[in-house]
A and B are shown apart, each in its own frame.
Chain A
């Protein structure tokens, strides 16, 4: 009988929870060091302005204020500018000009948090307002003011043009098409708004020359390397990488917003190096919403070509990407528009052509993910909405149109028209299950009856394909650092183990799931395995957690390291059993002699022997490191069906039911996967119905607090229903695919499609998200359907 070690497929309770439920987490703001100073930031009220003077004298006169740092101060150390992940530059502090509202202008260092805030109020900055560039289309007009005159080689707000696919063939298919549908879609700026804001405690030890930074970061190793490189180019002088330690402790949600380096981190670090004191900087919510990296802001013209019989032939997408005042997107370096060209989705079509143009405007820089893998949400929204639009045009059921055009299971691995190789999929299987489980045919009947009575009900489908697990080192890097990931395992003599990984959890439960991988692969009980991450002094080098990459990359590395250990352990077991290694097999979580399973040794027996009785000539100990370079990305997918009812009095969209059928391959911990899907669905509903960041014509942000930027509460969020199919990844060591973001990607088009479906008989073909009650009510009014 097999022992249950708590391996794959077990809903093991989370190892991290005992500290969190007791209030004993270790978040950055919980840290207090002797002599620690506090930093607060003066921010610009203008979106675009010249700084004519900064007078810090009143602030400096306040007891407890030790320093006021300006751009000119940093410039003396060549630290006023920093590189972005996309090889652009961004101001740390401005020398003479601000380019977005809430931009950092100066930093006050004080002995106490409240005194630092008082100091901020006393810094007098004189501005001369300049005309701001707010609309990205107008930004391309040659008469538009320049957002970045510092780019001397450019006399335009255009940043880059990127395209993918076969233009000639796509255009030809469009010319030959029997039917073409087209929509302009805007995916607005949104903000990840993790409940913990960003911040750090930087501590430079003048004696040892060692810099330690506790930081809200999803990628501590990459930060360490960047810090070392940035100091090398500064007048501070390089801090060698072995003297930089980045610690990412417990993180209160990341979702992509904690990938970039924000100016606050750099200023606090510079302040610690210059004062020799630890310096704490913690954003407040307004700073977080107004100045940290945004997501989306894609203006897309999407066209789909097909035949009258419903065969999709080609996709064409033109996109304007508003990057704000710097291209500070968090994408792999060779992908200026991320993985957006996966936008042919789950459908077999002959050709596609995708274009994206990046533009500067006077808004905060960014282009980070909002819980998605590098712009895949934008891609899925484009294809899933336009496929529904085609169904509407052809007057066929959107499920039937999808079924007709799915890439069939036997076509995998499938090469997409934009060059991706999908590893595996069974799209029809997932949609069939979703339709059966939700009772699709009955719901369509109910909808027809209701429509006849003037009631508005909609059914929305989304059958998305994700692309996660960046990534193979031949194409994926960040500033040249290849996107492998790593794991190190040490098995102790008495049969317990420590695992250190290059990725970093922000709530995903790595301390549990990575222990389960080792439990499964080594046959040690999950309770005997501890997982550490987030400390660059102890963890092996990795690129961090985002883009659903932890399981596809570091998860794979963990399994591979465990298998290296198992290989050595097998030789030790053979020695203990006095058998040839060829006669030893691994089964029931133990080594046994082939044909004589009672002659066996457990991993604990072997571990003890590795330190007490290992074979002559063999190195003692039982440990391994693995740096895993994935051969391909993984392609999880899902079929989502959303049922909405529309309140004709208020225009409110009410989600009656939402069923998510996900396929993320083999699952480590079903409880954690389901939790990830619940959370992802909620973060998908948020931009579909509630969240957007907008600016007025002067570049003033209109959602500066949680009073205006509406996160879903328990009241709007439905009781999500989930199910799954399982199509293992053929190239991942244990067939897993990554799942943290699937639902954020799949939910918005399912909801938007449901609302458009509810209104389609009125001639509505598209609604931009967020679909607010106001938008819907206006349509109801136009058609005399609004109830008073």
Chain B
């Protein structure tokens, strides 16, 4: 067993884990954050995407021990002080999701893109999400959602947020 400390959404999670424990299982079953999903086991679908030190990574093919000490962000960390992140607002407003299973990974990739490239073209958005599969939406509204989030982030005005 190996001692692993991960900061997930600003909160430290420590555990003695087997070296073979996948990061996605640490997140889902040790930290009990089930918003990160598993879709393929081969780094193909991106449902398990999280941000590791700000960069998108597929947590189903990383070991928790490999990222010991890292800062991880999951979908649960997007909302801050009761305020949805613009990427969440974008997905809600543009109907960027249907079954919701790929959505956490898509939003994190979208957020990382917009932080690097605040005004991406449609082609750039499509390239950014090309490692994330969605079986429901046909991507059209996901592209719109990320574009809409980009607009919001460029012009940070107060926007209405959906309530639970």
Contacts and interface: CB of A to CB of B under 8 A. Distances in A.
B39 to A, nearest CB: 4
B53 interface: no
B10 to A, nearest CB: 15
A603 B98 CA distance: 32
A252 B101 contact: yes
B139 A253 contact: no
Contact of A251 (B18, B25, B45, B99): B99
A349 interface: no
Contacts of A276: none
B3 to A, nearest CB: 18
Given A30-B34, A196-B37, A715-B127, A705 B88 contact: no
Contacts of A671: 95
| B28, B36, B40, B164 — most chain A CB neighbours (10 Å) | B40
A194 B95 contact: no
A250 B126 contact: no
Contacts of A29: 28, 34, 37-38
B73 to A, nearest CB: 11
A705 B37 contact: no
Contacts of B134: 195
A713 interface: yes
A363 interface: no
Given A13-B92, A27-B101, A284-B41, A719 B140 contact: yes
A285 B143 contact: no
B95 A14 contact: yes
B150 interface: no
A225 interface: no
Interface string B136-155: 11111111000000000000
Interface stretch (A323-331, A353-361, A528-536, A672-680): A672-680
Interface stretch (A15-23, A179-187, A611-619, A752-760): A15-23
B39 A197 contact: yes
B81 interface: no
Interface in B55-113: 74-76, 78-79, 84, 88, 91-93, 95, 97-104, 107
Which bracket fits the contact residues of A? 35 or more
Contacts of A285: 39-42, 45
A253 B41 contact: no
A506 interface: yes
Contacts of B34: 23, 27, 29-30
A253 B97 contact: no
Main secondary structure of the interface of A (DSSP, over half): loop
A255 to B, nearest CB: 7
Main secondary structure of the interface of B (DSSP, over half): loop
A682 B92 contact: no
| A705, A706, A713 — most chain B CB neighbours (10 Å) | A713
A143 interface: no
A224 B137 CA distance: 31
A151 B62 CA distance: 48
B162 A714 contact: no
A705 B44 contact: yes
Given A18-B163, A675-B141, A27 B133 contact: no
Contacts of A695: none
B139 A682 contact: yes
B39 A672 contact: no
B33 interface: yes
Contacts of B104: 23
Interface in A710-763: 711, 713-715, 717, 719-720
B115 interface: no
Nearest to A721: B140
Nearest to A252: B101
Interface of A: 13-14, 16-25, 27, 29-30, 32, 113-114, 192-197, 250-253, 255, 284-286, 506-509, 671-672, 674-676, 678-683, 705-707, 711, 713-715, 717, 719-720
9 contacts: A18-B164, A22-B75, A22-B78, A30-B34, A196-B37, A253-B98, A706-B45, A707-B42, A720-B138
Interface of B: 18, 20-21, 25, 28-29, 32-42, 44-45, 47, 74-76, 78-79, 84, 88, 91-93, 95, 97-104, 107, 122, 125-127, 129-143, 162-164
Cβ-closest 7 pairs across A and B: A23-B35, A507-B99, A252-B101, A20-B100, A678-B138, A23-B75, A706-B44
Given A13-B93, A675-B136, 7 more contacts: A13-B95, A17-B97, A22-B78, A114-B18, A195-B102, A195-B134, A197-B39
